Structure 1
Amino acid sequence: MSTRFEEIHIDQLVVHPKNVRRDVGNVVDLANSISEQGILQPLVVAPYLEPHEGELFIIIAGHRRHAGAKLANVDALPCVIRDDINTEPRQLEAMIVENTQRTDLTVLEEAEGYQALLEFPGYSVKSVAKATGRSQATVRKRLLLNKLNEDAKGKLEDHTLNVDQALVLVDFADDEAATENLLEAAATGRNWSYTVTMETRRRDAPAKIEAAQKDLAEAKAKSVPDATRYTGGWERIYENDSNAITIQEHVDAGHLYTLSTWGDVEWYQKPAKTPKAPKPELTEEEKEAKQREAALTAALDIAHAVRAEHIKTVIKAPPEGAADEALYRLLLSHLHAQTALFAEITGRPANRDDDHFAIKAALQDMTVEQMAILLHLTVKSREDDLLKLYAWDAGDYRHTWGPKAWIEDLGTVYHYELSSVEQEVLDHFQAAHDAHLAEIAAEDQEEDEDDE
């Protein structure tokens, strides 16, 4: 690498026409700083490649400092001269690397820089990635952003759209309606996952329907007649991975199909029982209402899948305060019934009208760990049962459903050691059961001896 340091007159410095950073922004504060402190970090420049008179250098890094120096009326600027950056592609590479290392580039400026490099002979995604120190995956993703429409690019620049959302929009670049719906979902912050799933299914549906129709036609499958589709004369066959059969097997079994809006094949059979008399044929309005309900049901299927993914995400990384709120809501549903415990926790008798506020106030100073223990207590406690002698009898059927588990929890959860009195009660019942078993054994032995 050929490098030298010089102070260069500002008139000898040329702004690079392909500067990947489109806008140097407001440089007033920078100009004031330069006036007071000077330029603390040298510019990086390279030989000016176009025919010219005199010694000129093109700016590789430092366009903002150059603009600020101009505003501050500075004559000469400290520069690092890179004589080895002596071709246009290498200059563009250097500008991209310099700006991405300083995080000065927006993702769209970076994308445009990569695209500009690819237009030079001999450049590929692999060589661009190597030259700029980026992974090939990052370069490919950035290049995809060039396909966005201007509206989406604007929202990406002003941070109302993130990169992941923008990459989803690339998949719908040719679908104006879908792009509009996705941009609206991104702007509101709601329904993004639902809208992506909905638009993806809507986009994929025609091809999926066409493929399904081809397979069904080849198998000579028959569809459920429209006239009886909503009259209840058919029984849906629900399949999963363990009981799914082929289209041909459905046809051979006499099953009829319907094809959903999304291209999903649903199979039906005649009920095993004799069907009731068919319902009167639906009016056009009733059919439209049924179709609307079917569409809403299909939409709910998408919403369910999105909710499931969202809940999994929340469980993996709970948002701040979520655990407290979850425990609080569980406690609220249990504590109002525990009048004695409620009074002990809140300091006042239970009143159904203000349970919510009293419990909320009492729990505000509790940690998550304390609320977890309290929740366990409200759900699992069998303290009232343990006032009764039978509850300590392991042989009593009433012991197994609650008191036994509570006695075990006292040790494992609450680290409570049974007192000598409590242990004496357990030993008393154990001795009684041992004696009973010994008595049964003795009776069995006597019967055996009599048989002999």
Structure 2
Amino acid sequence: MAMTDDSGRRRLGRGLAALIGDASNDFEVVERARGTRKVALDLIKANPRNPRRIFREDELEDLTASIRRHGVIQPILVRANPTIPGSFELIAGERRWRAAQRAGVHDIPVVIQDVTDREALEIAIIENVQRQDLNPLEEAMGYEQLIEEFQYSQADLATVIAKSRSHVANTLRLLKLPDPIKGYLNEGQLTAGHARALITSADPVGLAKKIVDEGLSVRATEALVQQVAERPVAEARPPRPEKDADTKALERQLADLLGVEVVIGHKANGSGELKLRYKSLDQLDHLVRRLGGSL
């Protein structure tokens, strides 16, 4: 489904922002927009398009404990499940949904929205970005989904998520990093700033390990990458031309005659050099005698 109406996209972005609101007061916004109702947890299914893939165990445990004590205060966003009548699909709030299951809650407050697949993905991304719940790689993968599935341009994304176009471009570049660095990002051992600094490095994996092992800051990482890039590269020596058979034969003849290793370096202009290599003083004495000289 191509996007051709720029003004429509801009309206969509504003509508989504109004729907989910700021992370600090989205409960109030969505409650005014639609009202809430209670839905049984077993009627709600996870959204396979949710850009968030990693849920930290310690955070889930803390939220589970809070829900056991206070219940679910903030509703989650759902839509009618397009494949299973009478059930719902999560749009935003999967961490609360997971924690409620752990806490043994039977139903949960929801706000039901009538949205398309595209809008559901947009809302999930925006909500997580506003809360800073996505790690940099999850954010990049969410952007890539919108681009590949719904023909978004980077400018469209910047408008919808209220970020700069350069932020979108830099975030998408993280997907080009090697898998070991993506692992560091998923585990929170590297930030997006670290990863962006490594993109242009000739040895990003080696530098990433050094950064993690030494706990380097983003500024120190940028300096390290610059330092490595400025190191002079040793000039490769041109391969020596293969000696012709006549030169090799002459080296062997002289070696047999003189009793030492002989190297002939012949140049294209006809000049050259003759090297005699001895391994001991006795061999040097022998060579001098053969040449007719004396010590």
TM-score category by the smaller chain?
0.5 to 0.7
Residue 32 of structure 1 corresponds to 65
1:63 to 91, 94, 113: 94
RMSD: 2.6
Contact 1:31 1:71 in 2 (8 A): yes
Residue 143 (structure 1) aligns with: 172
Determine the structure 2 residue equivalent to 1:161: 190
Give aligned-pair identity as a percent. Answer: 31
CA distance in 2, matches of 1:24, 1:180: 25
Rate the CA distance shift 1:193–1:8 in 2: closer, same or farther, 3 A: closer
CA contact under 8 A between 1:114 and 1:128: conserved in structure 2? Answer: yes
1:394-431 Cα offsets, whole Å, 9 max, x none, are xxxxxxxxxxxxxxxxxxxxxxxxxxxxxxxxxxxxxx
Task: Name the CA distance, whole Å, in 1 between partners of 2:137 and 2:209.
Answer: 21
Q: Which runs of 5+ in 1 are unaligned?
A: 210-452
Shift of 1:198: 4.1
Consecutive unaligned residues of structure 2, counting only runs of 5 or more, are 1-14, 16-32, 236-295
Identify if the C-alpha distance between structure 1 residues 28 and 159 changes in structure 2 by more than 3 Å, giving closer, same or farther: closer
Q: CA deviation at 1:201?
A: 3.9
Report the CA distance between 1:193 and its aligned residue. 4.9
Q: Cα gap change, 1:41/1:183 in structure 2, threshold over 3 Å: closer, same or farther? A: same
Cα pair distance change 1:159/1:78, threshold 3 Å = closer
What is the rounded CA distance, in whole Å, between the counterparts of 1:59 and 1:129 in structure 2?
24
User: Is the alpha carbon distance of 1:59 and 1:179 closer, same or farther for their aligned partners in structure 2, counting shifts above 3 Å?
Assistant: same
Residues 40/185 of structure 1: CA separation in 2 closer, same or farther (3 Å cut): same
User: In the alignment, is the contact (CA less than 8 A) between 1:24 and 1:63 conserved in 2?
Assistant: no
The change in CA–CA distance for 1:12 and 1:160 in structure 2 (over 3 A counts) is closer
Look up the equivalent residue of 1:88 and give its one-letter code.
D
TM-aligned CA deviation for residue 109 of structure 1:
1.0
Indicate yes or no: 2:152 matched with 1:127: no
TM-score of the aligned structures, taking structure 1 as reference length: 0.40
**Per-residue deviation at 1:23?**
2.2
Paired residue secondary structure (1:119): helix
> What letter corresponds to residue 38 of structure 1 in structure 2?
G
- Number of the residue aligned with 1:356: none
Q: What is residue 211 of structure 2 aligned with on the other side?
A: 186
Q: CA deviation at 1:168?
A: 2.2
What is residue 74 of structure 2 aligned with on the other side?
41
Q: Cα offset for 1:47?
A: 2.5
SS of the residue aligned with 1:79?
Answer: strand
- Using the size of structure 2 for normalisation, the TM-score is 0.60
Residue 72, structure 1, aligned to residue 103, structure 2: yes
SS at match of 2:124: helix
8 Å CA contact retained: 2:180, 2:205: no
Q: Per the alignment, do residues 30 and 162 of structure 1 end up closer, same or farther by CA in structure 2, a change over 3 Å counting?
A: closer
The letter for the 2-side match of 1:138 is H
Contact 2:136 2:191 in 1 (8 A): no
**Is the CA contact (8 Å cut-off) linking 1:181 and 1:195 kept in structure 2?**
no
In 1, the alpha carbon distance for the partners of 2:204 and 2:128 equals 30
Change in CA separation of 1:123 and 1:168 when aligned onto 2, cut-off 3 Å: same
Q: Which of these residues, 80, 96, 113, is aligned with residue 142 of structure 2?
A: 113
Question: 1:3 deviation in Å?
Answer: 3.1
| Structure 1 pair 116–74 and aligned structure 2 pair: CA distance change class (3 A) | same
1:13 paired residue number: 44
Larger radius of gyration: 1
Quick one: which amino acid aligns to residue 182 of structure 1? L
Distance 2:166 2:106 in 1: 44
Aligned-partner residue type, residue 139 of structure 1:
V
Q: Pick 1 or 2: higher relative contact order, CA cutoff 8 A, min separation 6.
A: 2
Q: How far apart in 1 are the matches of 2:103 and 2:182?
A: 33
Within 5 Å, give how 1:96-111 maps onto structure 2.
96-111=125-140
Q: Distance in 2 between matches of 1:198 and 1:65?
A: 45
Deviation, structure 1 residue 195: 3.7
2:229 is aligned, of 192, 195, 200, to 200
Deviations 1:122-146 (A, max 9, x none): 3111111111121111111110111
CA 48–161 in structure 1, closer or farther in 2 if over 3 Å, else same: same
The answer on whether the counterparts of 1:4 and 1:82 sit within 8 Å (CA) in structure 2 is no
Letter matched to residue 108 of structure 1: L
Aligned CA distance change for structure 1 residues 146 and 35 (closer, same or farther; 3 Å): same
